[in-house]
Structure 1
Amino acid sequence: MPIISEKQENQKQVLTLNDLEKRKVVEHNSLITSIAKMDKTPLKMFELAVSCIDTEKQLEDNTVYLSKRDLFAFFKVSDNDKHSRFKEAVEKMQKQAFFKIKEKKDKGFEFENIVPIPYVKWTDYNDEVLIRFSPEIIPYLVNLKKNFTQHALSDIAELNSKYSIILYRWLSMNYNQYEHYSVKGGRRADQVESYRNPTITVKELRLMTDTVNEYKKFPDFSIWVLDKSFEEINAHTSFNVTYDKIKKGRSIDRIAFHIEKKRKADDNSYKLEDKVYQEDKARQAETEDMLTVQALKSPYTKLLMEHFLLSYLDLTDTKILSGLQAHVYPLYDELKALRGLNGVKDHLSYVRAKQEDYSKKNICKYLKKAIEQYLPTVKRQD
């Protein structure tokens, strides 16, 4: 008896090595932020199976088909024991692997534990593997209209750590939103930038990476979950990622990530769509130039110079000036409305007196934090 029916033969989408570079994995964001209770092999197999879904067609019987030859190539398995290892990986995926999904609803949160692939079928005489998704996971994979993420299968193929795969998916979710709103608009400039520089609490990060009971000392967590993952991500994917540790008291409370997209003219897997990228860069440059001109004309720039918070060298830095105009001067306008221009001067005198050497490295960030901390006090007093 054949492994698939004639009807299924017409529906199947078998992965080939030639289109591996073109394959995309599309998933709902709730699946991206879920807890993947599985190790790297089942997680990569799931991502590979999802990449075979044609999002523009009906998924017949919740089923996709893989070639064993290409599956082994994807996992870079070439030894004589590969068939038994494949069997072990499938059995482990079905017995142990599931997603813990938390999704916000009208009345609160809804929790689901979903085994994503309960059925796999193959023969020892045929190259094809049938993979059937559970009905419960399908809403997170097909007919997605909003709140979904798309990332490259070729990036996932090179990652050999569960944590690097989980972090890569989450970073892709954020960077996708950055690219979308950079082009389509609908968000403030600082909101758009926050998608490229996302933050997450250590507690949330431990939940997502399933390390609540592992690497309990933060230095160990930093080395084995963060540093090792970004070593892989930076080496093998389209992202370059750095991160900062943000303290609350004496403890590390949050992690701020900084994502840059690689752009290599000689590597198709790392190219952005030229039109989108060029439009995005042109828009950013135009906005920066406009904000810089406005900042040079602003009375606040003169006040900062008078209080020695800006130097003449800073006036040649478009990033500093555009950042002040976009993020700091609107807050000075609020203070001016409450206390007048003298109120702004008094605030700057205080900031200058308290200024630390480290603030000079990012004066825009320092001034923004100072006024954000001061404004609520003024509003309460008034």
Structure 2
Amino acid sequence: MELEKKKVVEHNDLIKSSAKMDVVPLKIFELAVSEIDTFNPPKDNTIYLSKKELFKFLDVDDSNKNYRFRQAISKMQKQAFFEIREEKGKGYVFRNIVPIPYVEWNSYSDSVKIRFDVEIMPYLTELKTNFTQFALTDIQGLKSKHGIIIYKWLNMNYNQFEYYRKKGNRDGQQLYNLCNPIIEVDELRWLTNTQKEYVGRFTNFEIYVIKKPIKEINKYTRFNVSYDKIREGRKITKIQFHISLKGEKTIENSSSKPKKVVTLADAQQSPYSQLLIGAFLLQISDVQDEKLMLSLAAKIYPKYAEFVEKYSLDILKKHLEYVKDHSTNIKDLVTYLDNALEDYQKRLVGQEKDNKESKLKNRKKGVIQKEKIPDYISTPGKNKLTQKGIEASKTADELLAKINGDIK
């Protein structure tokens, strides 16, 4: 079969493993995997490659191809292995597997005999679920092992995006997360086997492990990829990749346009975070809690934005002060704030309805009456929190002015 028609199919656990090998052994492995028919696994775990095809795939010159081939095979069998990590119970199970322990060839034949290790075969043939497929030629032009590893990881995420988009059982945000995946820098180092390389300044790691491989991926594969660095304080802790197919619009322009993924920095800088701090519902220490902040940004802040659009920021501030004044022992802040806002909106709607009915009755009676300011805004004596917020907190007023300025 021609190289252009070959596909590589691997279990996602293998895609997410750490490849302890150079680019040439890794390419030989991927080429060998493309010869496996998952529906009819090879007998004795053995496949045959063509030398001519292998040299073409590796883009090896005639002058040194035999030497480079022997060198690559030697490295593959002596040094190269996959460190596979699978979640089991409360932790991980690690497996170190030399994928191709046996290779045989001779000087008078074009055939190369390759036998896979029995332990690697389940990751190549038992693929009913959680597997990834890609064209062999997509990695042919990639010159670095980091490019191949990152491309396979991106492909795993994007394939899931395409699957669930067609199936229709994921919302816009979930789809967005799949084609804009985020990976911890420590995880990326483990994946690319660079824990001990490019240490110190992040710049060198970015250039050789991220920037150059992404440039290759954009040139030789079906993807257009960009990335953002996510910081926690001064340290870059995560990378968010943005994947789209060449010649196609990104997901943001589709009919199911998802919301932009919010980073921890975005959540921390949100005016609503400042408002919660001002109302003493969020402590300074809570701002470093990534899970809490991202949950607030995803579930609460969009509702606050809608509320402010409909009513005003002043009324939202009064609501949060009321929540703080009447709350004790909040175990789940996100759920509590969500329920509190929902209840408050119902009360506001009820009050608006009562006001309209009262006005309508007065018109019928011919009574001219000045519009009454609702109790929940400024009635003295009935709302301790309003008095507290308006009269007793100069700091809160300054914060409110700042937030109003940010929103405008």
Counterpart pick for 1:84 among 59, 64, 67: 67
Question: Residue 43 of structure 1 corresponds to which residue in structure 2?
Answer: 26
Spell out the pairing of 1:1-382 with structure 2 (5 A cutoff): 16=1, 19-106=2-89, 108-216=91-199, 217-263=201-247, 284-285=254-255, 287=256, 303-304=308-309, 334=339, 336-340=341-345, 353-354=402-403
Q: What residue identity is the alignment partner of 2:164?
A: Y
Deviation per CA, 1:68-90, whole angstroms, max 9, x where unpaired?
A: 01111111112222112111111
Q: Distance in 2 between matches of 1:243 and 1:156?
A: 20
Task: Call closer, same or farther: CA 1:342–1:356 in 2, change over 3 Å.
Answer: farther
CA-CA distance at 1:191 after TM superposition? 1.2
Equivalent position SS for 1:180: helix
Q: Distance in 1 between matches of 2:305 and 2:92?
A: 46
CA-CA distance at 1:190 after TM superposition? 1.0
Q: Distance in 2 between matches of 1:341 and 1:222?
A: 51
Q: Distance in 2 between matches of 1:62 and 1:356?
A: 67
Q: Distance in 2 between matches of 1:334 and 1:249?
A: 32
Could you say what the CA RMSD is over the residues aligned between the two structures, in angstroms? Answer: 3.3
Deviation per CA, 1:338-382, whole angstroms, max 9, x where unpaired?
A: 443799999xx988843787x89xxxxxxxxxxxxxxxxxxxxxx
How many residue pairs get aligned? The number is: 295
Unaligned runs of 5+ in 1: 1-15, 265-276, 290-297, 309-329, 361-382
CA-CA distance at 1:103 after TM superposition? 0.4
Task: Call closer, same or farther: CA 1:299–1:78 in 2, change over 3 Å.
Answer: closer
Q: Distance in 1 between matches of 2:99 and 2:404?
A: 54
Tell whether the 8 Å contact from 2:172 to 2:257 is kept in structure 1 after alignment: no
CA-CA distance at 1:55 after TM superposition? 1.4
Task: Call closer, same or farther: CA 1:206–1:168 in 2, change over 3 Å.
Answer: same
Percent of residue pairs bearing the same amino acid type: 49
Q: Distance in 2 between matches of 1:22 and 1:242?
A: 28
CA-CA distance at 1:102 after TM superposition? 0.6
Unaligned runs of 5+ in 2: 259-302, 314-334, 350-375, 378-396
Q: Distance in 2 between matches of 1:52 and 1:105?
A: 31
TM-score, normalising length: structure 1 = 0.70
Q: Distance in 2 between matches of 1:188 and 1:351?
A: 34
Q: What residue identity is the alignment partner of 2:241?
A: F
Q: Distance in 1 between matches of 2:207 and 2:342?
A: 48
Question: Residue 265 of structure 2 corresponds to which residue in structure 1?
Answer: none
Q: Distance in 1 between matches of 2:348 and 2:203?
A: 44
Task: Call closer, same or farther: CA 1:119–1:190 in 2, change over 3 Å.
Answer: same
CA-CA distance at 1:299 after TM superposition? 12
Task: Call closer, same or farther: CA 1:351–1:60 in 2, change over 3 Å.
Answer: farther
Task: Call closer, same or farther: CA 1:342–1:218 in 2, change over 3 Å.
Answer: farther
Q: What residue identity is the alignment partner of 1:90?
A: I
Task: Call closer, same or farther: CA 1:60–1:332 in 2, change over 3 Å.
Answer: same
Tell whether the 8 Å contact from 1:307 to 1:352 is kept in structure 2 after alignment: no
Equivalent position SS for 1:157: coil
Q: What residue identity is the alignment partner of 2:45?
A: N
Deviation per CA, 1:71-122, whole angstroms, max 9, x where unpaired?
A: 1111111222211211111111111100011101235311100000000011
Q: Distance in 2 between matches of 1:134 and 1:301?
A: 58
TM-score, normalising length: structure 2 = 0.65
Q: Distance in 1 between matches of 2:307 and 2:224?
A: 37
